[in-house]
Structure 1
Amino acid sequence: MMRQIVYGFSDSPFGHIIVARTWEGICDLQFLDYNRLETIHQLAKRWGVYTPTTQNDTMAQTVERVIFEGYDHPLKLDIKGTDFQLRVWNEVQKVPFGHTATYLDIAKGIGEPKAVRAVATAIAQNPIAMLIPCHRIIHSDGTTGEYHWGKELKQQLIDWEKDSLLNAQK
């Protein structure tokens, strides 16, 4: 079945992002760390070689405002993955804004306490950054661990969320 993907670009406090959606919801969100055209090609590959795409920056700007400015607008997600990945990503979404959890916490949360490495792999394959907040998942020793866009950005996102939460409580 051919699916229409609408994508757009926006600026965030942490750099440019690309957001894509299907009719069902947001299906992809990434920080741009390379060529935009290459990113669009990768997006189409993930969703099928013959996926028609159109550009809509307004949609991406709305998502950016929801994530980084607290704009109150419901966002539906169109998440595709294995059953295991979906369980992991669902559990990651339970980690509250401004908080962190460990890979082991996530493994225990899905009832698979010995699957920490598989959980880490599923988290690394998350296609929807920030909305499935994989940056909130850290090692048991408190170190941030890896992040697709680098450890430095992961730490900046964690710090920003904690600061935002503290400022909201004042």
Structure 2
Amino acid sequence: ISPFHLQRTFKEWVGISPKRFLQFLTINNARALLRESRTVLEAAWGSGLSGPARLHDLFIAVDAVTPGEFKNMGRRLLFYHAVFPTPFGRVLMAAGERGLCFMGFYSHGQADVYADMLRRFPRATFKEDTSFLTPYYRSVFLKEPTLERLPLFLKGTNFQIKVWEALMRIPEGAVCSYGDLARVIGKPGAGRAVGSAVGANPVSYLIPCHRVIQRMGIFGNYHWGSARKKAILLWEAHHR
């Protein structure tokens, strides 16, 4: 592919030139983004975490597993899974009657992301069913109103659920630090525990753990690849 066609294709997909993309990845730009996000985050978090989270115009409802379901690791639960294309690579999605329980990206082999899905509910039954997951996919990635509400069925500790709910209040195009996230859930100084909860997120993109970066402006790691994290952040910054 010629440099001209590469630049044109890149700009059609991302919305900006490759040069601007590289500028976005600098530490100084990340620090500026953190500063610019503070006012937005204060408004988003100002009313607390009791209200519903949203994606586009869609309400997101969180249903956590019961203590019994947590203890027996999903025994007697049935989930359906399917793979779909996205702007950020292929995504494996899984859901049951109570909502979406897993969403993970991958670029090459499927083995790791399938193992990641199965370890969340090791005693549950998983069956492939594209039709069951299609409404979720179309609502999340195609922004089509195929669902009136988007239910999430999450397996995590009370602390993890609280962190994930706070993540869903970070607006598209904004970022926060781990310290910011710890403060908003009422646990200042628990940055390391918050980081562990962020890394344990079972539903990529929808629970936007990619919007958390280090206080010094370093983008940091991402369970589904640091390059993908930067691509999603840039996409959101120019498509909000």
| Letter in structure 2 aligned against 1:123 | V
1:158 aligns with 2:240: no
| Letter in structure 1 aligned against 2:106 | L
Distance 1:98-1:107 versus aligned 2 partners, 3 A rule: same
* TM superposition shift of 1:33: 4.2
How many Å separate the matches in 2 of 1:164 and 1:61? 23
Match of 2:150 among 75, 88, 93: 75
Q: Give the aligned partner of residue 139 of structure 2.
A: 66
Q: Give the aligned partner of residue 52 of structure 2.
A: none
Distance 1:24-1:150 versus aligned 2 partners, 3 A rule: same
* TM superposition shift of 1:158: 0.5
What is the SS of the residue equivalent to 1:20? strand
Match of 2:189 among 97, 114, 130: 114
Among all aligned residue pairs of Structure 1 and Structure 2, give the percentage whose two residues are the same amino acid: 30
1:108-134: CA deviation from partner (whole Å, max 9, x where unpaired):
010011001110110000000011110
How many Å separate the matches in 1 of 2:214 and 2:112? 32
Alignment check: 8 A CA contact 1:33 1:149 kept:
no
How many Å separate the matches in 2 of 1:59 and 1:161? 27
* TM superposition shift of 1:65: 2.8
- Superposed counterparts of 1:27-106, under 5 Å: 27-37=101-111, 39-49=113-123, 51-72=124-145, 73=147, 74-106=149-181
For the pair shown, which has the larger CA radius of gyration, 1 or 2? Answer: 2
* TM superposition shift of 1:69: 2.5
* TM superposition shift of 1:42: 4.0
Match of 1:137 among 207, 212, 234: 212
Distance 1:41-1:156 versus aligned 2 partners, 3 A rule: closer
* TM superposition shift of 1:162: 0.9
| Letter in structure 2 aligned against 1:109 | V
Aligned length: 164
Structure 1 gap ranges (5+): 166-170
1:56-75: CA deviation from partner (whole Å, max 9, x where unpaired):
22344433332333223321
How many Å separate the matches in 2 of 1:39 and 1:151? 16
Q: Give the aligned partner of residue 17 of structure 1.
A: 91
Alignment check: 8 A CA contact 2:178 2:214 kept:
yes
Alignment check: 8 A CA contact 1:6 1:21 kept:
yes
What is the SS of the residue equivalent to 1:84? helix
How many Å separate the matches in 1 of 2:117 and 2:158? 21
Structure 2 gap ranges (5+): 1-74
Distance 1:140-1:38 versus aligned 2 partners, 3 A rule: closer
* TM superposition shift of 1:52: 1.7
Q: TM-score, normalised by structure 1?
A: 0.88
